[in-house]
Amino acid sequence: MEKNADVIVAKCAGFCPGVKRAIDRVLELEADGKKPVYTIGPLIHNKQVTDMLAAKQITAIDTPDHASDKSGVLVIRAHGITPDFQKQIQSYGMEVVDATCPLVKHAQNIIEQFASQGYHTVIVGEGDHAEVIGLMGYTHGKGTVVSGPEEAEKLPYFDKVNVVSQTTQKESVFYATAETIQKRAGVCQISNTICQPTKDRQKETIEQAQHADLVIVVGGKHSANTTRLALLCKGLAPSVQHVETEAELNEDLIKQSPRIFITAGASTPDWVIERVAARVKQLRAQPNEGETNEY
């Protein structure tokens, strides 16, 4: 039997359109000779990519105060920022390029639309995530972040509430939370702002992971969406390994697992996924102890 027949690499693995767009934009700026290029926060949480960008003198800074060369370009990353911070960075006189993902902008617009009608906003997500910090800036000062239904139980009654989601949230968590809030509100607007690429990735993961003996999730250990993907898989497959590169692969587990599914977070570049997949296939092609490749 072909030992690699049951190694499946996810079709939705790797850069989402928003991250790809932001990275392409900074690389274009650098190629056009716009130097130095500063990004407000790391473009993505993937060490291999941030190392590649650093080699091109594309550096992440927290605030324009940290830009040593004020003739450089400031890039707003895919996660977006608050409108107040946007005004502040525009006052520095540096060129500003907005690479906020259009799907994050869509979530910002929905929050703004209902907040301007007096709705309180509840965001289902991680309060310390850059995208959520940016989204909070659109709530007109009336926003709350909850991680799930348990935290939503503790919320007060709202006359009018708009429940939105971090774009990479798990859909079942979003709806369970929205349902909890709906029970304790007058008017409850439910705005599912999970982006389509995240929905597609979650759907494929659920379909494939439950038929796998081992799921390998490739991506940065600090990447929220990759970590969430690994957590999702833990409830579906008997073994799950989250690796940043092929060097961390568990060789024994790979050789023992008949069906392997390889997936990756939205911030993992294709070349890292390809190297992991190639190493997995190479390991499976090697004979186990006591076996031989000769016929």
Q: Is 248 a catalytic residue?
A: no
SS3 content of the chain, % helix, strand, coil (to 5): 40, 20, 40
**Alpha-carbon span 27 to 32, nearest angstrom:** 9
Which range touches ligand SF4 (CB under 6 A), out of 171-179, 190-198, 254-262, 273-281?
A: 190-198
Q: Candidates 42, 197, 265, 269: give the one binding ligand SF4 (CB under 6 A).
A: 197
Q: Is 16 in the site for ligand SF4 (CB under 6 A)?
A: yes
Strand bridging mode 58-61 / 239-243? unpaired
Q: Candidates 198, 202, 208, 268: give the one binding ligand SF4 (CB under 6 A).
A: 198
Strand bridging mode 37-40 / 185-191? unpaired
Q: Candidates 101, 111, 123, 262: give the one binding ligand SF4 (CB under 6 A).
A: 101
Contact pattern for ligand SF4 over residues 260 through 279, marking x by CB under 6 A: ------x-------------
Q: Candidates 9, 10, 19, 181: give the one binding ligand SF4 (CB under 6 A).
A: 19
Q: Work out how close the CB of 170 gets to ligand SF4 at its nearest, in angstroms, rounded to a whole number.
A: 13
Q: Is 80 in the site for ligand SF4 (CB under 6 A)?
A: no
Q: Which is nearer to ligand SF4, 167 or 177 (CB)?
A: 167
Q: Which is nearer to ligand SF4, 29 or 44 (CB)?
A: 44
Q: Is 164 in the site for ligand SF4 (CB under 6 A)?
A: no
Give just the sign of the alpha carbon dihedral 50, 51, 55, 61. positive
Q: Is 149 in the site for ligand SF4 (CB under 6 A)?
A: no
Q: Are 115 and 135 in contact (CB under 8 A)?
A: no
User: How far is C-alpha 129 from the chain's CA centre?
Assistant: 10
State the residue number with the nearest CB to ligand SF4: 18
Q: Which is nearer to ligand SF4, 121 or 193 (CB)?
A: 193
Q: Label each residue of 101-168 as H, E or C.
A: CHHHHHHHHHHHHHHCCCCEEEEECCCCCHHHHHHHCCCCCCEEEECCHHHHCCCCCEEEEEEEECCC
**Alpha-carbon span 170 to 79, nearest angstrom:** 17
Q: Are 49 and 273 in contact (CB under 8 A)?
A: no
Selecting among 2, 112, 126, 131, the annotated active-site residue is 131
> Which amino acids are annotated catalytic?
131
**Which residues of the chain form contacts with ligand SF4 (CB under 6 A)?**
16-19, 78, 101, 103-104, 167-168, 195, 197-198, 266
